[in-house]
Each structure stands twice: as C-alpha cells, then as structure tokens.
Amino acid sequence: MSTTHPTGNPAASSNFLIDGNVHKGTLSNVADVLDLLSNIDAGSLGKRATFGLFLLLSHCSDAIRHVENSLEEPA
C-alpha cells in the first residue's frame, strides 16, 4: 500500500518527515509552537472557530509528536 498522497505529491506522504531525514529536534520545536498556538486567546473568532482552531492545532501537534516518537524507536 502506497503512502503517497492521491495527487502523487511525495511531500504529502504520511512518511515524508521520516523519509525526508528531518531532525527530530526540529519536530519537537514545531510541535511546541503548535501547542503554544493552540492555547492563544482567539476569542475574537467566536467560540466555535476558536475551538476548531484549538482542535486542529492540537491534532497536528499530536501527529508530529507521534512521528518524533517513531524516530526514537529502533529500526
């Protein structure tokens, strides 16, 4: 089963971060920034939009941390 995005764009592959040799420290920094952004006060957007933004950024952070953890596992 291919992990390449349906458009054929290899950058959209679910394994891009692993296959692309991205340093795990970079992943940690990106996840930290997403965590910070998910907790900003975006009350001017409205309750539903603020909650949606929080969920989106939180899930992105979780996904990046999952990839980071998979880099630490022995091959």
Q: Of 11, 29, 13, which Cα lies nearest the Cα of 68?
A: 29
DSSP E strand stretches across the chain: none
**pTM for the whole thing?**
0.64
Quick one: pLDDT at residue 6?
52
Choice between 45 and 12, residue whose per-residue pLDDT is larger: 45
**Extents of the domains making up the chain:** 22-72
Contact between 70 and 23 under an 8 Å Cβ cutoff? The reply is no
SS3 5: coil
| pLDDT grade for 75, boundaries at 50, 70 and 90 | low
Q: Of 11, 67, 64, 14, which Cα lies nearest the Cα of 34?
A: 64
Tens of pLDDT, residue by residue over 17-68, are 555 667 778 888 889 999 898 888 877 888 899 899 999 999 999 998 888 8
